[in-house]
Structure 1
């Protein structure tokens, strides 16, 4: 069950990162309605931390991630 919830947290983190990028928005509230209520998920403390690390870590390192991706041809 935990693995299933971690998978869902990863999917939601990916969706949130995509949403931030496409909408050119700041990551002001990563625990918003889009992420959880619409998907019927109630993440506990550990899973919220996991989700937060994924979103914040990606967002905070976008420049270096973009450089890595752009170097792949």
Structure 2
């Protein structure tokens, strides 16, 4: 599995955990929530990218959540599946702030993670929301 894919999965897991525990960014980026064997197996490139996604998403959570809320159709933000929300938060952070990562890669990775960790319909829902946000951001009106 590619290093960035592993990093995105780690970031998704950390953000999912953060949603329920509200652990500090420091605890999340130190991967203290992983068992030591898994933590020791993370290579530096994977850890660096995961840390960037985790910290960046949480530091920009108000903007990220506002973008998600603005693109939900017939959905209440507070009732979103927490797996879907963690995937979308990480991905919206990437779409908005990581200009060096192509939006198509961000969305494809989110879909793949949703297929692995979400419900049967998660990937379709996430794809629709992220695609709308991508178009909005590319049009210059996103925030």
- TM-score where L is the length of structure 1: 0.75
- The aligned residue for residue 125 of structure 2 is none
- The aligned residue for residue 56 of structure 1 is 55
Aligned residue pairs total 71
Q: What is the aligned counterpart of 1:11 among 9, 12, 15?
A: 9
Higher normalized contact order (CA 8 Å, seq sep 6+, divided by chain length): 1
Gaps of 5+ in 2: 74-143
**Partner Cα separation in structure 1 for residue 53 and residue 46 of structure 2:** 11
User: 1:12-51 residue pairs with structure 2 within 5 A?
Assistant: 12-29=10-27, 30-35=29-34, 37=36, 39=38, 42-51=41-50
Larger Rg over CA atoms:
2
**1:19 Cα offset (Å):** 0.8
Q: What is the RMSD of the two structures over their aligned residues, measured on CA atoms?
A: 2.2
**1:7 Cα offset (Å):** 1.4
Are the counterparts in 2 of residues 17 and 55 from structure 1 also a CA contact under 8 Å?
Answer: yes
Gaps of 5+ in 1: none
- TM-score where L is the length of structure 2: 0.42
| Bigger share in helix | 2
